[in-house]
A and B are shown apart, each in its own frame.
Chain A
Amino acid sequence: MTSLHPALILIAGALLLPFLRGKARNLTVLSAPTFALAALWLLPEGKLWQVQWLDYQLAPLAVDKLSRLFATIFLLMAVVGGLFALRQTSRLEVPAAFLYAGSAVGVTLAGDLVTVFLFWEFMAVGSTLVLWSAGTPAAFAASKRYVAVHLAGGVILFAGVAGQIAATGDASFHAMQVDSISTWLILIGFLINAGAPPLSAWLPDTYPEASWSGTVFLSAFTTKTAVYVLLRGFPGTEILIWVGIFMIFYGIVYALLENDMRRILAYSIVNQVGFMITGIGIGTEMALNGAAAHAFSHIIYKALLLMSAGAVLAATNRRKCSELGGLFHSMPITTICGTIGALAISSFPLTSGFVSKSMVTQAAIDGHLQAVWLFLAAASAGVFLHAGIKFPWFVFFQKDSGLRPADPPASLRWAMILFAFLCIALGVYPEPLYALLPYEVNYVPYTAAHVITQLQLLLFSGLAFFVMLDYLKRTPTITLDVDWLWRVAGPEVAKSCRLALVETRAGFANGLANGLASIGALIARQRRPDGMLLRSWPTGSMSLWVMVMLLAHLAIYYLG
Chain B
Amino acid sequence: MCLLKNFLIGSMLFCGLQITAQTIEVCNGCPVSSLKAAIKMAQAGDTILVKRGTYKEYNIVVDKPLTIKGENFPVIDGEDQGEIIRIVSDHVTIDGLFIVNVGTSYTSDHAAIRVVRSEHFLIQHVVLEKLFFGIYIEKSNHGKIYHNTIIGDAQDEYNSGNGIQLWYSKHVVVEKNNVQKVRDGIYLEFSDNITINENTSTNNLRYGLHFMFSNDDLYTNNTFENNGAGVAVMFSKRIKMLNNTFKKNWGTAAFGLLLKEINDAEIKGNVFEENTVAINIEGSNRVVYSGNDFISNGYAIKVLGACYTNTFEKNNFLYNSFDVSYHSKINDTIFQHNYWSSYTGYDLDKDGVGDVPYRPVKLFSYIVNKTPETIILMRSLFIDIIDFSEKVSPVFTPDNLLDMTPHIKRYK
- Answer whether A and B are interacting partners: no
Residues of B that sit less than 8 Å from A by CB: none
